[in-house]
Amino acid sequence: MKTSWRTASLVATAASVLALTTACGQDNSTTPAAAAQNVGATAPAGSPTTGAGIGTGAGNGYGADGNQSSASPTQAAPAGKLTVAANPDLGNVLTDGSGLTLYRFDKDTANPPKSNCAGDCASTWPPVPAGDATAGAGVDKALLGSVTRADGTKQLTIGGWPAYRYAKDVNAGDVNGQGVGGKWFALAADGKKASLAALPGLSVRKDPKLGDIIVDKNGRTVYRFLKDKAWPKSVSNCTGACLVKWPAVGIVKPEDTQGVKKKGLMGFTRPDGVKQMTVNCWPIYTFSGDKAPGDTNGQGVGGTWYAVSPDGKPVGAPGN
């Protein structure tokens, strides 16, 4: 009888300890991955997405099928230095410090700034924190601002529009969120929807190999010819067949430029009558061998042709 009582007691004690251990273990080992994930961080390529509705289509217009709740993602990745990147279909697209595309939402407002994306929507479209955002090449820091969200966090705004990332963009340059639900669009540097038609006559983009370079209104790389002259007057030594291969960039008004140094930003008339633009008084061209925005096939050709930096210098040229 004693043995039976003692056995029962030990069994009961063991069961108690097991129940306690299981309950503690659940706090650490059985928490769903979606609940533990930092929603502001980029998921590895090919990994399953988390959060309600991610990748399930437009559904309710937020890119997620679940209803909005009052919750909002926390610990979002910092914005870092904002720059622009060339996209063959959209022209210059605004990106964060990691090269991820930033987006705007048609149901938001810019004047006054207000975000209407929370809960499941904000899991699919993580709001970009405003805290450490800085303006890089081609970005006007005067257009950077913030809006206070319902949860009290500060979200970055561009030209008044709240900025977001997209959960399905995993690599720098991805634009998988473009047009989702007919309400989400990549941001241009001025807060407008990115499009080739929205590009200034001359602007700056960050090339992964060359750094900050000037592009024309079509997003095509702009070049300098080392045989040209800038002083005491602008002189182009590219004529005839050269000009067919390296078309002269037409006149652009200084106010139709973004991120380009204004000094020496002017046009001149060539001996053949063609009006050509200059940056820091140096004639500029595009290259017929560049087939799409972002191409830099003319870089270093013949040791005399080089992409142009925002201050007019030839990028990568000897002595520069």
Residue 320's pLDDT is 83
Residue 274's pLDDT is 93
Any domain includes 284: yes
pLDDT at 207 > cutoff 80: yes
pLDDT at 35 > cutoff 50: no
Any domain includes 43: no
pLDDT at 227 > cutoff 80: yes
Whether residues 172 and 224 fall in one domain:
no
Last residue of a domain, one of 133, 165, 196: 196
Q: Cα 50–172–156 angle (5° rounding)?
A: 75
- Confidence band of 8 (pLDDT split at 50, 70, 90): very low
The whole-angstrom separation of Cα 161 and Cα 33 is 31
pLDDT at 9 > cutoff 90: no
Whether residues 227 and 148 fall in one domain:
no
Any domain includes 158: yes
Residue 86's pLDDT is 86
Residue 193's pLDDT is 95
Any domain includes 18: no
Give the structural domain span for 268: 199-307
Kindly state the average pLDDT of the residues 238-255. Answer: 96
Residue 25's pLDDT is 32
The whole-angstrom separation of Cα 5 and Cα 99 is 69
Residue 313's pLDDT is 97
Any idea which of 42-51, 139-148, 153-162, 300-309 has the lowest mean pLDDT? 42-51
Residue 269's pLDDT is 96
Kindly state the average pLDDT of the residues 19-39. Answer: 32
Q: Are strands 134-135 and 81-87 parallel, antiparallel or unpaired?
A: parallel
Kindly state the average pLDDT of the residues 277-302. Answer: 96
Residue of higher predicted confidence among 119 and 50: 119
Average pLDDT of the residues of the chain: 81
Share above pLDDT 70 across residues of the chain, in percent, rounded to a whole number: 77
Q: Are strands 275-279 and 266-269 parallel, antiparallel or unpaired?
A: antiparallel
Last residue of a domain, one of 181, 196, 211: 196
168-205 pLDDT, tens per residue?
A: 999 999 999 999 999 999 999 999 999 888 789 999 99
Residue 196's pLDDT is 83
Look at the chain and report how many structural domains it folds into: 2
What is the model's pTM?
Answer: 0.59
Whether residues 90 and 185 fall in one domain:
yes
Whether residues 153 and 219 fall in one domain:
no
pLDDT at 32 > cutoff 50: no
Whether residues 164 and 129 fall in one domain:
yes
101-153 pLDDT, tens per residue?
A: 999 999 999 999 999 999 999 999 999 999 999 999 889 999 999 999 999 99
Whether residues 101 and 140 fall in one domain:
yes
Chain length of the chain: 320
Any domain includes 19: no
Whether residues 85 and 182 fall in one domain:
yes
Whether residues 180 and 104 fall in one domain:
yes
Any domain includes 115: yes
Last residue of a domain, one of 180, 196, 212: 196
pLDDT at 219 > cutoff 70: yes
Most confident region among 42-51, 85-94, 220-229 by mean pLDDT: 220-229
Whether residues 147 and 249 fall in one domain:
no
Residue 75's pLDDT is 61
Q: Which two tokens stand for residue 163?
A: 């900025």
Residue of higher predicted confidence among 208 and 224: 224
Whether residues 120 and 183 fall in one domain:
yes
Whether residues 252 and 263 fall in one domain:
yes
Any domain includes 71: no
Residue from 292, 212, 287 nearest 249 by CA: 287
Residue of higher predicted confidence among 294 and 210: 210
Residue 89's pLDDT is 87
Kindly state the average pLDDT of the residues 73-78. Answer: 68
Any domain includes 132: yes
Whether residues 222 and 175 fall in one domain:
no
